[in-house]
Chains A and B, each alone.
Chain A
Amino acid sequence: MRMRKCFPRTLCLAAVLCLIASCAWANDSLPYDCYNYDYWNNILYTPAPYVPDGSISGATLEWQGQPLGAFRMPQDLCVSPEGNVYIADTGNNRIVVLSGDLKTVLQVITDFDANGKKETFSSPYGVAVSQNEQLYVADSQNHRIVVLELDGSFVKYVQDPKSEVLDEKFVFTPLKVSVDYADRVYCVAQNMFQGIMVFTAEGDFTGFFGTISVKISLWEKFWRKVSTKEERSKQQLFIPTEFTGIDVDDEGYVYTSNKDTDGIQAVRRLNPKGEDVIRKGAKENLGGDRVFGTVGNYSGPSQIVDVVYRDHGIYSLLDARRGRVFTYDHEGNLLYIFGGIGTQEGTFRVPAAIEHLGSRLIVLDSQQANVCIFSETEYGRLINQAVSLRYDGDESQAVPLWQEVLRLDENNELANSGIGKAYLSAGDNEKALTYLRRGMNRAYYSVAFKRWRNEMLAGNISWILTLVVVLVILLMVWKRVLKPRLAAARTAKGGRTA
């Protein structure tokens, strides 16, 4: 029976798959796996959410009639509000500006005129464009952040932070930089473990932000207690984890990625006070891969090197260990995973930065010195849209989208749970139960279950009560009348008494 029921569905799925294969990439010709984790952390392969859509290297571009020349160890890229792409070409000491289609070079910034003095960059490591359309360059080996107008004219430096909390010997080496709507500058600096450095719009250092407290286990505490001073000095220092990337969303919340050796939380969402307000989802895990090997190549927790805030609460993390891109929604649900290490187009060697460009995602690879472009598939678009609708509070509108997602990927727990919630609000409790169970959504399942239970009780209470009354009467009759009579009859016969 079950077999027969399944048959049309599989046929349907096969048809859909054929359709996808004919018009875009088939999953088996992709250079990477696309998967997600289910409730029990099993890996479930999914259709591709994003497929490679070409790559850009400096060698293929032209600037003022001359070839631009290959990038050298580029470390960061960002997208301006206008949609232009800024690449920090670290090894060539220049900033390259590309148009939104990544085909034409709009500008190459190699020097700027700082109050009459010609200045250049030295290993510009990070780049950001503010909402007020100013370019911020983390000029790492010159130990300053350079602020320029988008046309390349000089605005100011942010440098030489002065504070009691900073060590006298501290050398400010900015690596990654980001700016919020009020032009506050957030900067990840080299060898700075106390947190993200925050500067005001005027360029004054105000303090650290989002410090990650060190976790010391009881066992480590015990060993520190019993070891001598000499031994302790040779032990590894307990240093807070490093931040690796920053992005600021429209509301001014700062998304930061960090290295996490436990693979539990590699991204934070910091409010203006510097507190982490991210939602971690049902599995309490924002660390990329949930299951990984412990020995050999590609083992260990994901090493998240950059984060990009996209729209409607969706953000993506870039993993340098296995070259994956992990995408989460505002509730901390893992939406989809794609990408891999390799040399084929669409895979990375040392991915360094990620950005979104409309519906596309672009990843900068520092080793291959190119920008990989990924375009959204039907599957990715459906999930993105459905999640966005939920973020905006139009969950009921997301149902047809989730149904489409289920057609492509039967196992999708988010889709099942989204449909279940819709049935719940529509009052169809039994269907809600089925879908919420498949979506492994305990909280909403319970709500549906309570409603279903009340309905059942209300509908059947009359005959249940009748049954109870009848049973009680029968029991009384048995005890008072029949049992004594039987006993009497037995004793009269001379048989055994009960």
Chain B
Amino acid sequence: MKDMFSKERWKYLFYTVSHPSDGFYWIRHQERGSIGIAILLVVLYGVVFSMNRIYASFVVNDIEPRTVNSVAELAGVLILYLVLCVGNWSVTCLMEGEGRFKDILIAVGYSMLPMVVGTVLATIVSQGVAENEEAFYSIIMGLGTAYTVIMMLIGIMQVHNYTLGKTLTTLFLTVVAMFIIIFLALLVFNFITQVYSFFRSIYTELVFRV
């Protein structure tokens, strides 16, 4: 646990951000990454996401504050992260991907850093922009997101030792896998609810009759 958040790990996070190709390669082959930091970054993104929705200045913010539910949004981000990683892992397992589940978690998690920084910066900058200057805000947001996407792409490529074409194919299949996972999850959830209500009605019946 202590090793997960050691100074070396933190330094390596920033090395990965500045040298994604190299960084992710050694995460796979030399255990330089840290799951703790990766999950922390995802949690951080969940928090920052809600924060942006509430605190971004009135000029750029069209979101009704009453609809912002930070707990649900955090849970949503985490579930999406988990589903993405599971989906990617289940696809790459079958497509000669070299990465382990752990590596995928780290690759995706580390990629969130630019988006976290971008969102925070944009939220701060938004406090100083007026109408017709929204571009500053959206450029910062856009850059953060673009960097995250690029990092994620390189991360998955390096972790699995894929070519770019194969990465894109697996990413597409990952999305399909994610939909299947969500569908199955909903199915199971629905099924459990039905079973639960069945037993519950038996119980009520017994209570009323016996």
Binding site for B on A (CB under 8 A): 40, 42, 437, 442-443, 445-447, 449-450, 453
Instruction: Give the chain B neighbours of A445 by CB distance below 8 A.
Output: 58-59, 131
Q: Report yes or no: A443 in contact with B128, Cβ–Cβ below 8 A.
A: no
Instruction: Give the chain B neighbours of A437 by CB distance below 8 A.
Output: 58
Q: Considering the complex of A and B, which 9 residue pairs feature the smallest CB-CB distances, nearest first? A: A446-B131, A446-B130, A40-B64, A449-B130, A450-B130, A437-B58, A446-B59, A442-B131, A442-B59
Nearest Cβ in chain A — how far from B54, in angstroms? 14
Nearest Cβ in chain B — how far from A451, in angstroms? 9
Nearest Cβ in chain A — how far from B56, in angstroms? 13
Docked CA distance A447–B130 (Å): 8
Docked CA distance A446–B59 (Å): 7
Nearest Cβ in chain A — how far from B59, in angstroms? 6
Nearest Cβ in chain B — how far from A364, in angstroms? 39
Q: Which of B52-96 contact A (CB under 8 A)?
A: 58-59, 64
Docked CA distance A220–B17 (Å): 49
Instruction: Give the chain B neighbours of A446 by CB distance below 8 A.
Output: 59, 130-132
Nearest Cβ in chain B — how far from A185, in angstroms? 46
Docked CA distance A442–B59 (Å): 6
Docked CA distance A437–B131 (Å): 13
Docked CA distance A443–B59 (Å): 9
CB < 8 Å A-B pair total: 20
Instruction: Give the chain A neighbours of B132 by CB distance below 8 A.
Output: 446
Q: Report yes or no: A443 in contact with B131, Cβ–Cβ below 8 A.
A: yes
- Which one, B58, B64, B128, contacts A442 given CB within 8 A? B58
Nearest Cβ in chain A — how far from B63, in angstroms? 9
Majority secondary structure, A binding face: helix
Instruction: Give the chain B neighbours of A42 by CB distance below 8 A.
Output: 64
Instruction: Give the chain A neighbours of B64 by CB distance below 8 A.
Output: 40, 42
Docked CA distance A445–B57 (Å): 11
Known: A437-B58, A449-B59. 18 other contacts (CB 8 A): A40-B64, A42-B64, A442-B58, A442-B59, A442-B131, A443-B131, A445-B58, A445-B59, A445-B131, A446-B59, A446-B130, A446-B131, A446-B132, A447-B130, A449-B130, A450-B130, A453-B128, A453-B130
Nearest Cβ in chain B — how far from A245, in angstroms? 35
Instruction: Give the chain A neighbours of B128 by CB distance below 8 A.
Output: 453
Nearest Cβ in chain B — how far from A62, in angstroms? 56
From A39, which residue of chain B is reached at the shortest CB distance?
Answer: B64
From A444, which residue of chain B is reached at the shortest CB distance?
Answer: B131
Q: Which of B106-144 contact A (CB under 8 A)?
A: 128, 130-132
Docked CA distance A182–B59 (Å): 47
Docked CA distance A453–B125 (Å): 13
Q: 9 A-B residue contacts at CB 8 Å?
A: A40-B64, A437-B58, A442-B58, A442-B59, A442-B131, A445-B131, A446-B131, A447-B130, A449-B130
From A440, which residue of chain B is reached at the shortest CB distance?
Answer: B58
From B67, which residue of chain A is reached at the shortest CB distance?
Answer: A40
From B60, which residue of chain A is reached at the shortest CB distance?
Answer: A442
Docked CA distance A446–B130 (Å): 5
Instruction: Give the chain A neighbours of B59 by CB distance below 8 A.
Output: 442, 445-446, 449
Docked CA distance A42–B64 (Å): 10
Docked CA distance A351–B156 (Å): 65
Docked CA distance A443–B64 (Å): 18
Instruction: Give the chain B neighbours of A449 by CB distance below 8 A.
Output: 59, 130
Docked CA distance A40–B58 (Å): 13
From B63, which residue of chain A is reached at the shortest CB distance?
Answer: A40
Docked CA distance A285–B131 (Å): 22
Docked CA distance A40–B65 (Å): 10
Docked CA distance A453–B128 (Å): 8
Docked CA distance A447–B58 (Å): 13
From B58, which residue of chain A is reached at the shortest CB distance?
Answer: A437
Instruction: Give the chain A neighbours of B130 by CB distance below 8 A.
Output: 446-447, 449-450, 453
Nearest Cβ in chain B — how far from A152, in angstroms? 58
Instruction: Give the chain B neighbours of A40 by CB distance below 8 A.
Output: 64
Q: Mark B26-65, 1 if CB is under 8 A from A, else 0.
A: 0000000000000000000000000000000011000010
From A452, which residue of chain B is reached at the shortest CB distance?
Answer: B130
Instruction: Give the chain A neighbours of B131 by CB distance below 8 A.
Output: 442-443, 445-446
Docked CA distance A102–B59 (Å): 51
Nearest Cβ in chain A — how far from B132, in angstroms? 8
Nearest Cβ in chain A — how far from B137, in angstroms? 13
Nearest Cβ in chain A — how far from B121, in angstroms? 19
Nearest Cβ in chain B — how far from A332, in angstroms? 19
Docked CA distance A40–B132 (Å): 22
Docked CA distance A447–B131 (Å): 8
Instruction: Give the chain B neighbours of A442 by CB distance below 8 A.
Output: 58-59, 131
Nearest Cβ in chain B — how far from A452, in angstroms? 9
Docked CA distance A477–B22 (Å): 35
Docked CA distance A385–B132 (Å): 33
Instruction: Give the chain B neighbours of A453 by CB distance below 8 A.
Output: 128, 130
Nearest Cβ in chain B — how far from A65, in angstroms? 63
Docked CA distance A236–B59 (Å): 45
